[in-house]
Structure 1
């Protein structure tokens, strides 16, 4: 696990992402990237994969149309996808990468994908997070 921790930390540093938390024992990182609007993204090693998760919003309107729209938006996401937590109310951006062959291009692609999603669909994401009247 230590080798994966070192590799991921080196890649994050190389890509100039701000590491706000790191645990070598758990091989977990929390990172932010102001340039792309990413805040508190969690990266965790679960050999053989690296799991990346970013909380997006909590669903207030639990109608089927909200979930259908989220699934439709998944089609537009270049890397990763929207997922729900166990409660079915927290929308999370999630992606997984192979640790063995992980490189900076792959890792950066995930951050770029999320950054693009947040910039292009921010208004719609805000609307989806609101309670319908």
Structure 2
């Protein structure tokens, strides 16, 4: 049973075996969560190992993923969640969620290569993008 409410982001750096073990366990959960692996430029072959095991990249042009932010007590959405989720900015059809007008550094994962590529193609100043 796939539960669309469940997802996992694994962030790793030079922890190939631990990351592969975590991915294996996450992919066998009955909820079948959507799993995203973020590698911070490891030199231990994790990117190659994951690519060999699962060569698909569902969204190769996706540059930023922002988490849903819950506040306590009660686990309610932070007020920024609605603003980010209900963005009025139209996006391309391949985008898996809303276009972000901004993002929160502590709740977002950025793919550097795509962000840099998009900045150069758009003619934007490089200092506006994470490097």
What range is the shorter-chain TM-score in? Answer: under 0.3
Normalization by structure 1: what TM-score? 0.24
Normalization by structure 2: what TM-score? 0.24
Higher RCO, 1 vs 2 (CA within 8 Å, ≥6 residues apart):
1
Q: Which of 1 and 2 has greater Rg? A: 2
The structure that is helix-richer by fraction is 1
